[in-house]
Structure 1
Amino acid sequence: MQLYPFTAVLGANPDAADGLDDMALALVLNVIAPSIGGVLVRGEKGTAKSTLVRALTQILPPINVIAGDRFSTDPAEPQPLSPDGPFEADVAVETRAVRLVELPVGATEDRVAGSIHLERALAEGAVHFEPGLLAKAHRGILYVDEVNLLHDHLVDLLLDAAAMGQLTVERDGISVTHAAKFVIVGTMNPEEGELRPQLLDRFGLTVEVAAPREPAQRAEVVRRRLLFDADPEGFRGHYAEAEQRLRSRIEESQSRMASVEVTSEVLHTVAEVCSAFGVDGMRGDIVTARTAAAHAAWQGREAITADDLRVAARLALPHRRRRNPFDAPGLSDSELDELLPPNTGHTDPEPDPNPDGPGGGDGTSAEQGEAPSSDPGPSGSESVAHQPAPVGAGEPYKARLFTVDGLGAGQAGRRSRARTTTGHRIGATPSAAAATGIHLLETVRTAAPFQSARGRTRGRLILQASDLRRAVREGREANLILFVVDTSGSMAARQRMQQVKTAILSLLLDAYRRRDRVGLVTFRDSGAEVALPPTRSVDIAARRLDDLPAGGRTPLAEGLLATAEVVRREHLKDPGHRPLLVVVTDGRATAGADAVGRSRQAANYLAAQGISCVVVDCESGRMRMGLARSLAEHMAANHVWLADVNAQALTDIVRDATREGAA
């Protein structure tokens, strides 16, 4: 397959007037100094993230490896950490290109870390280690597209190996340690959900990318892509010299790294910057210092300047200053100006509206500071002057845990009980030979009664594929949480709406921690609206919540039926993702003819579908009509008062009741 040239992507050619943009620069700096810890690329779809990463291997110098070694051991390594060793002094050496290993989202831990060679175990009765993707990525690049959709324990495994430079595998009767030094590159679309702050911190650098907004640049991107599709060889030939110049400059920078001095003054400045931005832990300081040194080497210097520190801080610190899950990462130039002197010879790259040459990508990496919000929402200039500003939420609290009834089989998460690939083992079931998670004891127990018939007299156990048993595990799954919010006039009182939004924000934070997908349906006036289709981006849901208007009559039936339609569509897309409805209302139904009767019919319909529901009762005052409680009965839902969404409030109630009983 013909790969697109690295230097043909807008913003990825250091010889062009615009130089390297943040994404290309972050990739190059990681290649120069892999100890930086990789790069996370955040951005909308179609911005050349994958194109640029795949093209990276073409500009890297080739490497020498020991011939026949499965772990890409460097022949110059004095004490190679390879299970295929030890090696002879005159071992054969071969030269090959740097590998790019792509990790699929659905990969299992066995596939990533390695496990026993099952076929050889069955045929020979011996235990042999089958290397995983991390062994293949040693001395190369590990590319994880949509890293935010990967299971947390796999992300931890990858980042631990990248930080330690080695991997130890202990399972199924084997214990193997091998080298695993690679540059990890993760890409993600924030609209699909965020990485947790503790995982964000493990990536060395983070950059934001966006497609160009100027027509001239967009036209140039398309022109280059069309030329590449028409004549890949000719197109690549046009950029061959630029690719070679970049490759040579990277080699020189790698050699220069040993000469770059990180002085005490530089370390003190780095510490001041990290402290001023409230960076937790010491990883940010270490990565910033390493990045500054790599940038100095890239610029041909052996002394670190203020320009190197500014670039390093811009790439290494934005994602580390997030204080809670709903804070957007970012670092402004004005904030840096207060801590570091202005650039003394280096200016941030400006996009070239008329770049030379025919090359380009099927997108472009971001221009600095111009990455748009994934959910801009209505701006203040577009709001109606006489319309009151939406009421904001208060400080979120620890929310009560709501779960889906029964035992599911969805994606691993932290909410409802489910059969998952992780968790405690509760049994075993027949398994295919290619399956993972083999239950060794049950496999042996199944094969034992047939040993005489299979001719075994002594020695190793004779196994067949039909003997294999897979472990059945019970853990927790993620769910689809649909918030159905009454924003009619009866809910529009400022204090009540603030309480409602605070409760929903607290539940959103809980959903973020439990890896759920969330959606938002609102109803007011004469109809319902899907304010946010189901998404993994809880950040977007929180922003939509702030902008919710309120007022008008209460079309409760329309809100419930719109929710039922969302559930139906999502079930067609992913039957294993079980829904949980959180209906936030005072139970009134005032819109349309026979509003109360139609709302009860809609509630009965949801109950007949077997959908787990929670009705959060927002009714207040001395004279309560109990409409929300009646709605919960028709929906076969759990009824909860608004104040009881707060887990601490429930704890206080139980504690007070216990004290009264003791008295």
Structure 2
Amino acid sequence: MTLPQPPHFPFSAVVGADGPDGPDPMPLALILTTIAPEVGGVLVRGEKGTAKSTIVRALAAVLPPVGDDPVPLVELPIGATEDRVTGSINIESALAEGKAEYEPGLLAKAHRGILYVDEVNLLHDHLVDLLLDAAAMGRATVERDGVSITHDARFVLVGTMNPEEGELRPQLLDRFGLTVEVAAPRDPALRAEVVRRRMAYDADPAGFSSRYAEAEEALSSRIAEAQRLIGLVRLSDTALLKIAEVCAAFDVDGLRADIVTARTAVAHAAWCGRDSVELADIRVAATLALPHRRRRKPFDAPGLDEDVLDQILGDEELPPDPDDDPEPPTNGPDDGPDEGPADGPDEGPADGPDEGPADGPDEGHEGEGTSAESAARAPDTPEVPGSEGSTSTTSSGSTYRPRLLTVRGVGTGTAGRRSRARTSSGRRVGATAPTGRGGAIHLVETLRAALPHQHARGRTSGPLLLRPADLRVPVREGRESNLVLFCVDASGSMAARRRMEQVKAAVLSLLLDAYQRRDKVGLVTFRGSGAELALPPTHSVDAAATRLEDLPAGGRTPLAEGLLQAAHVLAVERTRDPHRRPLLVVVTDGRATAGPDAVLRSREAAALIAGAGISSVVVDCESGPLRMGLAARLAEHLGAEHLPIGEVSAEVLVTAARGRAA
């Protein structure tokens, strides 16, 4: 017996969706992209517990129906495969009936509705790219397993994410039409109202929803009216020029920002019941379409200076176009023909080029390698021994493209770009029985599995008799993402300005590399008499960079404590995420000076990590003419790769290889 599902929390009951000055940015962005789906979807960024999923699920209920059918809401799970998203051949039908029938995927089911991806930042890049392509073109093409199909896939794409769990790559971020930042209200009265409404809904979902039925119906009617009106909204040349001025002032790349801002301004004018775009529409559109597109440094969060926006827009109304003169002068003998474009719903940027940064492998900041490389190889300035209580902070130098660090062996973790692993994409290395309904068939191995059973199945001649148990799919080897745990020595021996600049530049460069390779990262630091977990393992590389930038240095070197803390963190993470293999990066000069038997305890801690089979790299920060080689010995005890800090840069590795080949 299937119990009836309670109604979704009403859209209009969300605090902020019913404000006196109109909806807050998040509900407004969702409404505008349903009025004009060509805007390109919405990305909602915010901390957990801010009603992101609640309001998205409530949106479908207030949208005007498509014919006699309600608007579908399709949720895409994080673990979905490409076959599940786009569709593929129906394997059971192929084997049982010999027919190559197409089994639709989630894109087909989301047609004329909403496709919702929670934690979109954790979805693999190629799937996000696939979703954005379909959303932009309004159709999806499947070319796989002898099936060639193109079907309509017009939907509103809505993604939600918690930035603490990691960012989307800039190339993908730019392709979302609108983005909004949400946070829990700080006003106690508003917080109390949120709790009050939620508790009322939980106590009586049906009764609570009925109290908002009238508001929901009014909202649905307003959206339907805006959808009807949008084709009549006029975007004047003057308004379009102002949009271009705003986009140019914020130094955005390409023309996608101009196009999306124009479409959003038109949608907002329709939402407000106007037949022409005004400055207020442009302002709202810019605050939703530009924050994630402005040029920014690595690890900077998206944002927009609204004071600058107000200065650009000014306080006056948009002047009328010259063509708007009710009595235009007639062309005289010396006048040329009137070639000004007529404004209308089919003119302007809606049909313009959709340009932006090309998607592809992000190879890092190669152009920044030269200065950082020379800094990493420069000798230390004279060191001042740190005392137990003295601390200092040092800013980092420029980042550069680091060499690739990998985990030994072949894993089975989440697809990424670092270590070898069995994944759903990559080169074919074998075949196995399938574990799901979809997937590309390995024909040769399927036939080979069926051949030994033909006599038992009664076959004497004719075609092979196949059974579902004969089916084989390819085993592919690609790359996985890993947990990269940095264990950074912040003691007095590392506190010299030049040395700490090298350390921070190297770790920041490796963090950028981890971001591009979709890794999870963590940060352990040790100094004085102990170690601390400065950042628990997370997908937010931004948070790791912030903690590193503010890293204090000074005091003795508790190397053993740092290694033991790292071992504890990795043991906990192995329980939480057993398929994600770790890579420990120890950044130190190898000294151990804190506590009795410091050297012996550090060796025992290293042996513990080596015994657990953890792949490690020791980034050796020792430099100068006289070296003790302590970090190299530590690498031996860890069974780790020994990497002098001057060789972290990939450019150094390439230069050395060229020198050997000369």
- Asked if Structure 1 and Structure 2 have the same fold, meaning a TM-score greater than 0.5 normalized by the shorter chain, the answer is yes
- The SS at the match of 2:93 is helix
Q: Which residue of 1 aligns with 2:339?
A: none
- Select between 291-300 and 462-471 the one with higher mean Cα deviation: 462-471
What's 1:626 paired with?
629
Which residue of structure 2 lines up, in the alignment, with residue 78 of structure 1?
none
| Counterparts of residues 568-583 of structure 1 (less than 5 Å) | 568-583=571-586
Q: Could you say what the CA RMSD is over the residues aligned between the two structures, in angstroms?
A: 1.7
One-letter amino acid of the counterpart of residue 609, structure 2: L
Contact 1:307-1:343 at 8 Å conserved across structures? no
The answer on whether the counterparts of 1:615 and 1:640 sit within 8 Å (CA) in structure 2 is: yes
After superposition, residues 38-57 of structure 1 pair within 5 angstroms as 38-57=41-60
**Aligned with residue 248 of structure 2, among 270, 275, 295:** 275
- TM-score w.r.t. the length of structure 2 is 0.86
Match of 1:110 among 57, 69, 83: 83
Query: Could you tell me which amino acid in structure 2 is paired with residue 470 of structure 1?
Result: V
Residue equivalent to 2:327: none
State how far apart, in whole Å, the 1-side matches of 2:97 and 2:517 are.
44
After superposition, the C-alpha distances for 1:379-399 in whole angstroms (9 at most, x for unaligned) are: xxxxxxx98762111110001
Mapping of residues 98-177 of structure 1, within 5 Å:
98-177=71-150
Q: Does 1:186 align with 2:191?
A: no
State the shift of 1:114 in Å.
Answer: 0.6
Q: Where does residue 431 of structure 2 map in the other structure?
A: 428
Partner of 1:402: helix, strand, or coil? coil
Contact 2:391 2:555 in 1 (8 A): no
> In the alignment, what sits opposite 2:179?
206
Distance 2:646 2:51 in 1: 47
What is aligned with 1:640?
A: 643
Please state if 1:503 is matched with 2:534.
no
Residues 1:387 and 1:337: Cα distance change in structure 2 (over 3 Å): farther
The structure-2 alpha-carbon separation of the partners of 1:328 and 1:389, relative to structure 1 and needing over 3 Å to count, comes to farther
Distance between the aligned counterparts of 1:238 and 1:108, measured in 2? Answer: 41
SS in 2 for 1:331: coil
Tell me the residue number matched to 2:406. Answer: 403
Q: Name the residue aligned to 1:531.
A: 534
Q: In the TM superposition, what whole-angstrom CA distance separates every residue of 1:354-407 from its partner, at most 9, and x where no partner exists?
A: xxxxxxxxxxxxxxxxxxxxxxxxxxxxxxxx9876211111000111111111
Contact conserved, 2:493 with 2:554, CA < 8 A, in 1? Answer: yes
Alignment of 1:426-575 (within 5 A): 426-432=429-435, 434=437, 436-456=439-459, 461-575=464-578
Q: Is residue 233 from structure 1 mapped to residue 236 from structure 2 by the alignment?
A: no
Q: 1:202 to 1:390 in 2, by over 3 A?
A: same
Secondary structure of 1:156 counterpart: helix
Please give the secondary structure, in 2, of the residue aligned with 1:53: helix
Could you tell me which of 4, 9, 15 is aligned with 1:4? 9
Code of the residue aligned with 1:555 in structure 2: it is P
Task: Give 1:494 shift.
Answer: 1.1
Point out the more displaced range, 45-54 or 221-230. Answer: 221-230
Counterpart of 2:289 in structure 1 is: 316
The question of whether the paired residues in 1 share the 8 Å contact of 2:86 and 2:105 is answered with yes
Please tell me whether residue 340 in structure 1 is matched to residue 345 in structure 2. Answer: no
Q: CA deviation at 1:231?
A: 2.1
CA offset at residue 17 of structure 1?
1.7
Which amino acid letter does the alignment assign opposite residue 15 of structure 2?
L
Residue 263 (str. 1) matches residue 211 (str. 2): no
Contact 1:433 1:465 survives alignment (8 Å)? no
Q: Conserved in 2, the CA contact under 8 Å of 1:489 and 1:553?
A: yes
Counterpart residue identity of residue 428, structure 2: R
Match of 2:352 in 1: none
Deviation at 1:573, TM superposition (A): 1.0
The answer for the alignment partner of 2:215 in structure 1 is 242
Q: CA deviation at 1:453?
A: 4.0
CA–CA distance in structure 2, aligned partners of residues 460 and 325 of structure 1: 60
Q: What's 1:350 paired with?
A: none
Equivalents in 2 of 1:503, 1:202: separation in Å? 31
- 1:649: Cα distance to partner? 2.0
Contact 1:5 1:236 in 2 (8 A): yes
Distance 1:459 1:305 in 2: 74
Aligned partners of 1:403 and 1:415 also within 8 Å: yes
- CA positional deviation for 1:20: 0.1
Pair 7,387 (structure 1): closer, same or farther in 2 beyond 3 Å: farther
How far apart are 1:278 and its partner, in Å? 1.6
Moved more, 457-466 or 259-268: 457-466
Q: How much has 1:169 moved relative to structure 2?
A: 0.5
CA distance in 2, matches of 1:628, 1:278: 46
Question: AA paired with 2:192?
Answer: A
- Cα drift, residue 638 of structure 1: 0.7
SS at the partner of 2:227?
A: helix
Distance 1:460 1:124, change over 3 A: farther
Question: How many angstroms does 1:448 deviate by?
Answer: 3.4
> 1:254-282: CA deviations, max 9, x gaps?
11111112222222222222122121122
Cα distance in 2 for partners of 1:643, 1:541 equals 22
CA contact (8 A) 1:410 1:576 kept: yes
- Matched AA of 1:417: R
Residue range with higher mean Cα deviation, 558-567 or 441-450: 441-450
Once residues 394 and 148 of structure 1 are traced to their aligned partners in structure 2, the CA distance between those partners, rounded to angstroms, is 28
Q: 1:195 aligns with which of 138, 152, 168?
A: 168
1:584 aligned partner: 587
Mapped to 1, the partners of 2:16 and 2:291 lie a distance apart of: 21
Q: What code does the residue aligned with 1:151 have?
A: H
1:383 alignment partner in structure 2: none
Q: Secondary structure at the match of 1:62?
A: coil
When structure 1 is superposed on structure 2, of 323-332 and 154-163 the one drifting more is 323-332
Deviations 1:133-170 (A, max 9, x none): 11010000000000001111111111110001001111
Partner Cα distance (2:397, 2:144) in 1:
48
Q: For the Cα contact (< 8 Å) 2:406–2:419, is it kept in 1? A: yes
Moved more, 323-332 or 552-561: 323-332
Matched, 1:302 2:305: no
Q: Please tell me whether the aligned partners of residues 144 and 440 of structure 2 are also in contact (alpha carbons under 8 angstroms).
A: no
- Say whether the 8 Å CA contact 2:90–2:102 is kept in structure 1: yes
Q: 1:147 to 1:229 in 2, by over 3 A?
A: same
The separation in 2 between residues aligned to 1:146 and 1:225, in whole angstroms, is: 23
Name the aligned partner's letter for residue 47 of structure 2.
Answer: E
Residue 642 of structure 2 aligns to a residue whose secondary structure is strand
Output the CA distance in 2 between the equivalents of 1:420 and 1:51: 33
> Structure 1 residue 44: deviation in Å?
0.6
- CA displacement 1:469-505 (0-9 Å, x = unmatched): 1211000011110111000000001111011000000
Aligned length: 587
Query: Alignment partner of 2:405: what SS?
Result: coil
With the length of structure 1 as denominator, give the TM-score of the two structures: 0.86
What CA distance in whole angstroms lies between the structure 2 residues aligned with 1:282 and 1:18?
A: 31
Percent pairwise identity: 66
- What secondary structure sits across from 2:399 in the alignment? coil
The corresponding residue for 2:341 is: none
Deviations 1:312-355 (A, max 9, x none): 1100011111434412100021120232124879xxxxxxxxxx
C-alpha displacement of 1:605: 1.6
CA distance in 1, matches of 2:392, 2:233: 55
2:428/2:477 contact within 8 Å kept: yes
Q: AA paired with 1:288? A: T
SS state at 2:553 partner: coil
